[in-house]
Amino acid sequence: MNVIATSVRRAFALPLLLLACSAASAAPSDVTAVKAAHMLDVRSGALVDNAVVLISGERITAAGSQLAIPAGAQVIDLGNKTLLPGLIDMHTHLTGDPQDAGYSIIAKSVPRATLTGAKNARLTLQAGFTTVRDVGADAYTDIGLRDAINDGDVPGPRMAASGPPLSITGGHCDDTMHAPEYKITSLGVADGVDEALKVTRRNIKYGADVIKICATGGVLSFGDDPRTSQYTLEELKAIVGDAHRLGRKAAAHAHGGDGIKLAVLAGIDSIEHGSYIDDEGIKLMKEHKTWLVPTLYLGDWLIENAEAIKLPKPLLEKAKVVLPIARQNVARAIKAGVPIAFGTDAAVYPHGLNAREFGILVKLGMTPIQAIRTATVNASELLGWTDRVGTIEAGKFADMIAVDGEPLKDVKTLENVQWVMKGGAVVK
């Protein structure tokens, strides 16, 4: 009886095994293969011809020239286009728009700002920026937007978000649009070490990935001077020290020379803008390996469109002084070898035009590959996300873009991205 039963089981098992093998071989592979005539290796600056990138799920499994494509893989053939890693913008404000630079911001509600952010997240992703660092939004709208993107509710780039930026009372990043009888103070205002530590910790409690500090006055605020420092060295050290202790990096809005130096001495990870950086500031940033995130194209757009967005005259006058000076000083910093990461301050000008910053960097002395590195390997290093983004390599997220033309010859080709993939899914 046992011999007969065993024979019967074997007789049924063999065709079932053959059927399973046949089904497995016929089943579609979970691998996607992206083919393109060229792929830019942003580390070496070399173009890889006949490029193939293999993707499983959200991640790249292999990338190179003429790789074998597994049977059953979904193939995306981009023809004569050039593949690059998804771009990274280290200074955005997705929940804002250019017209918010004037008094109209008073009438903009938190829900409206959040929906503005959803629109701008989509525009930014479509422009080829698959990762951004958002450095300043009221009422944690940027953190809510980040979470909605991560949950798949709205399309947008990967985000590192700061929440409300820290500011002294009446400084840049405090609300200076309202009359005093309204007693309006921005959520990030903190004076003195104790308050600064409390706001830093509160931002982290509510989900901040990075701590943003307004270390000097700014352009688009009343009653302050971009050349003057706001926080003291003691306050800055407390904020940066706590941020680092709690596993976050810290970024400082800093136009003026003294504010830049104080932030660097406090251990800041990046200086945003750097408009009035001087030789001593350049020397300190190189010694401390502090990143500079210049935001330069906005100078062209803002001044040309000031009337259309009803920019208040005092703010326009500041812009006309500060922004041209910024280009001269940033050019000196680039030439001196200060580490540069890509940023735009998008919101001061329309989201989606972010890639226009590349042309300014080249005008100031960078080669096209150096400019492209600021928005790929450099930016990923500043983010602390080198294991995730910044290159087309095995193990990284399948975040890629494709353009016509040769970006190593004309960096402005990046202003017209033809194809975008984020996490293995084609989004444009």
Query: Which residue carries 């001196």 as its tokens?
Result: 336
Q: Are 273 and 326 in contact (CB under 8 A)?
A: yes
Catalytic residue among 134, 345, 396, 399: 345
For 19, other C-beta atoms within 10 Å of its C-beta total: 10
- Tell me the C-alpha distance between 60 and 32, whole Å: 9
End-to-end Cα separation, the chain, in angstroms: 65
Query: Which residue carries 């202003």 as its tokens?
Result: 415
Does 81 qualify as catalytic in the annotation?
no
Catalytic residue among 35, 81, 212, 318: 212
Q: How many residues belong to the chain?
A: 428
Which residues touch 400 (CB under 8 Å, ≥6 apart)?
A: 34, 53, 83, 84, 85, 86, 392, 420, 421
- Tell me the C-alpha distance between 425 and 428, whole Å: 9
Does 249 qualify as catalytic in the annotation?
no
For 2, other C-beta atoms within 10 Å of its C-beta total: 6
Q: Are 251 and 234 in contact (CB under 8 A)?
A: no
> Which residue, among 403, 426, 394, 425, has the nearest Cα to 54 in the 3D structure?
394
Phi, psi of 8 (to 5 degrees): -65, -45
Q: Where are the alpha helices (DSSP H) in 50-191?
A: 110-126, 141-150
Positions marked catalytic: 212, 345
